[in-house]
Amino acid sequence: MSVGSQIKQRRTELNMSQETLAEKIGVSRSAISNWEIERNYPDLQLIVLLSDVLGIPLDILLKGDTEVVEKISTDTVQRKKLSRKLKCAYACVAVLIILLGLALCKTRYLDISRPSQIESVEFDGDNKFFVKTDLPFYRSLAGYYIDYTNNGETMNISLFSYRDMSMTNLEEETVSAYLYPNTKKVAIVYDNEPLITYELDEIDVTNK
């Protein structure tokens, strides 16, 4: 006897309506109707529930209905394949998230490293320099550090930026520094190499 016929027969014996059976196993009434007229078949999980609710041993419920058994076997294989694919997809997504996190951490702070990133340098005539940069909209200047070379003849300014998720895009930095009497040059440097070098007496003087 087919699965559908057994469901209908046992449901009738228990004086149970299609609506009641549907509620017990969490499906629609039309699903029960379709199974009973063999329009389609329940999956393995629902067959186990039907076995419990109707009191039909699972081996008896499936016995002789080769079409349902083959369908369940096919569904099981397909689910296993889908499960493997999903696991691979999850693993790939996890790896991508890790790589993205590492990339974001690595690029959180970046030194100003190209001459094209420096727009101008102005001087107040005393001990302040006003550096204007050209940064992407998602980065802002974070600070600077200075050192001197040639016994104080050249003052080196290193600038660094940070990833600014507020998109404030701060592109100007005021550099306060002590100038030695013999300081003649100011250089914007990256990795101890000058990007742009200015003669001190050639830098525009500003009243900022």
User: Domain check: are 51 and 135 in the same one?
Assistant: no
**Element at 121 (helix H, strand E):** strand 118-123
Tokens 């100007």 — which residue? 172
CATH number of the structural domain spanning residue 39: 1.10.260.40
Structural domain includes residue 102: no
So what's the pLDDT on residue 137? 92
User: Domain check: are 136 and 176 in the same one?
Assistant: yes
Structural domain includes residue 85: no
CA atoms of 66 and 46, how far apart (whole Å): 17
Structural domain includes residue 91: no
So what's the pLDDT on residue 206? 74
CA atoms of 106 and 120, how far apart (whole Å): 28
User: Domain check: are 75 and 140 in the same one?
Assistant: no
Kindly tell me the sign of the dihedral angle through the C-alpha atoms of 46, 50, 56, 62: negative
Structural domain includes residue 92: no
User: Domain check: are 58 and 117 in the same one?
Assistant: no
User: Domain check: are 183 and 132 in the same one?
Assistant: yes
So what's the pLDDT on residue 64? 61
User: Domain check: are 73 and 154 in the same one?
Assistant: no
Residues 130 and 139 sit within 8 Å (Cβ to Cβ):
no
pTM for the whole structure:
0.54
So what's the pLDDT on residue 134? 94
Q: DSSP characters for 128-172?
A: EEEEEE---TTEEEEEEEEEEETTTTEEEEEEEEEE-TT-----E
User: Domain check: are 63 and 132 in the same one?
Assistant: no
User: Domain check: are 68 and 12 in the same one?
Assistant: yes
User: Domain check: are 118 and 198 in the same one?
Assistant: yes
What Å distances lie between residue 7 and 30, 68, 190, CA to CA?
14, 13, 79
So what's the pLDDT on residue 72? 67
Look up the domain containing 63 and give its range: 3-80
User: Domain check: are 76 and 121 in the same one?
Assistant: no
- Report the chain's terminal Cα–Cα distance, integer Å: 95
Which residues of the chain fall short of a pLDDT of 50? none
CA atoms of 155 and 168, how far apart (whole Å): 29
Structural domain includes residue 88: no
Q: Total structural domains in the chain? A: 2
User: Domain check: are 15 and 57 in the same one?
Assistant: yes
